[in-house]
A and B are shown apart, each in its own frame.
Chain A
Amino acid sequence: MSLWVDKHRPRDLMKLDFHKDQAVRLKSLVQQSDFPHLLVYGPSGAGKKTRIMCLLRELYGSGVERLRQETMTFTTPSNKKVEIMTVSSNYHIEVNPTDVGIYDRVVIMDLVKNVAQTHQIDSSGQKEFKVVILNEVDDLTKDAQHALRRTMEKYVATCRLILIANSISRVIPAIRSRCLTIRVPAPTENEIASVLQLVCKKECLNLPPELALRIAKAADRNLRRALLMCEACKVQQYPFTPDQKIPEPDWQQFIRETANIILSEQSPKKLSEVRQKLYELIIHGVPPDMIFSGLLKELVRNCDMAMKCQVASHAASYEHRMRLGNKPIFHLEAFVAKFMSIYKKFVEESLGDAF
Chain B
Amino acid sequence: MKKEKWFKPMFEFDDDVPKQKSSKGEETFVNTNSKANQVLDSTSKTCSIVIKDHKNWIKSFEPVTVEDLAVNNKKIQEVDEWIKSVCNKNNGDMLLLTGPVGCGKTITIKVLAAKHKVRVTEWITPLDIDIPSENGEYEYKQKQSLKFLDFILNAANFTSLLDDNSRKLVLVEDFPNTFIRTPSEFTDVLHQYKFRAKSPIIFICSESHMDGKNTSANLFTPGLKEQFSIQHIMFNSVAPTNLKSALKRVAAIINQKHKLIYNTPTTDVVDCVVNSSVGDVRSAVLNLHFACLKGGSKQNMDTSIVLEKETKGKGNKKKKQSSSKFMALGKDQTVSILHGVGRVLNPKVIDAENGKKKFTHSPEAIIEQFISQPSSFINFLEENYLPHFACIDHVENATSALSDADFMLAEWREKSCQEHGLYIAVAGLMLANKSPVSAWNPVRGPKNMRIQYPSVRELQLEENNLYKGKVLVVDYQTYCKIIGKESGT
- A positions within 8 Å CB-CB of B: 1-3, 6, 9, 44-45, 49, 53, 67-69, 85, 87, 96, 99, 136, 222, 224-225, 228-229, 231-232, 235-236, 247-251, 266-268, 271-272, 275, 279, 282-287, 290, 318, 321, 324-327, 329-331, 333-334, 336-338, 340-341, 344
Contact = CB atoms under 8 A, between A and B. Distances in A.
B447 A231 contact: no
Contacts of B450: 283
A100 B447 CA distance: 19
A290 to B, nearest CB: 7
Nearest to A231: B483
B452 to A, nearest CB: 6
B461 A331 contact: no
Interface stretch (B49-57, B146-154, B399-407): B399-407
A325 B406 contact: yes
Nearest to A228: B479
B67 interface: no
A283 B452 contact: yes
Nearest to B484: A1
Q: Which 3 A-B pairs have the closest CB atoms?
A: A228-B479, A334-B399, A334-B403
Nearest to A50: B466
11 contacts: A6-B461, A96-B469, A136-B470, A250-B477, A268-B391, A285-B473, A330-B405, A333-B382, A334-B396, A337-B395, A341-B396
Interface string B466-479: 11111111111111
Given A268-B386, A272-B387, A341-B396, A251 B473 contact: yes
A341 B404 CA distance: 18
Nearest to B468: A96
A230 to B, nearest CB: 9
A249 B474 contact: yes
A229 B469 CA distance: 19
A19 B392 CA distance: 50
Contact of B483 (A1, A44, A49, A96): A1
A199 B268 CA distance: 89
B386 A275 contact: yes
Nearest to B481: A250
Interface of B: 375, 379, 382, 386-387, 389-393, 395-396, 398-400, 402-407, 409-410, 447, 449-454, 460-480, 482-487
Contacts of B478: 228, 232, 247-251
Contacts of A228: 475-476, 478-480, 483
Contacts of B479: 3, 228-229, 231-232, 247, 249
Given A268-B392, A337-B396, A337-B400, 18 more contacts: A1-B480, A69-B463, A224-B475, A228-B479, A231-B479, A232-B479, A235-B482, A249-B474, A275-B386, A279-B449, A286-B473, A321-B403, A326-B409, A329-B449, A331-B406, A338-B396, A338-B400, A344-B392
B293 to A, nearest CB: 47
B323 to A, nearest CB: 30
Q: Among B393, B471, B473, B479, which residue has the most Cβ atoms of chain A within 10 A?
A: B479
A337 B399 contact: yes
A340 B379 CA distance: 22
Q: Is the interface of A mostly helix, strand, loop or mixed?
A: helix
B475 A326 contact: no
Given A247-B478, A279-B447, A267 B483 contact: no
Contacts of A279: 447, 449
Given A283-B452, A285-B451, A330-B382, A318 B403 contact: yes
Contacts of B402: 330, 333-334
A283 B474 contact: no
Of listed B399, B452, B471, B487, residue having the most chain A CB within 10 A: B399
A235 B240 CA distance: 74
Nearest to B390: A268
Contacts of A248: 478
Contact of A326 (B406, B453, B471): B406
Residue among A3, A224, A231 with the most chain B CB within 10 A? Answer: A3
A6 B486 CA distance: 18
A330 B382 CA distance: 8
A349 B476 CA distance: 44
B469 A285 contact: yes
Contacts of A229: 479
Contacts of B464: 67-69, 87
A321 B486 CA distance: 43
Nearest to A222: B475
Given A283-B450, A330-B406, A344-B392, A236 B469 contact: no
B20 to A, nearest CB: 63
B214 to A, nearest CB: 22
B432 to A, nearest CB: 10
B473 A271 contact: no
Nearest to A1: B460
Given A283-B450, A326-B410, A1 B475 contact: no
B407 to A, nearest CB: 5
A53 B468 CA distance: 16
A282 B451 contact: yes
Contacts of A287: 470, 474
Contacts of B382: 327, 329-330, 333
Given A6-B462, A325-B410, A268 B474 contact: no
Contacts of A99: 469
Nearest to B403: A334
Contacts of A337: 392, 395-396, 398-400
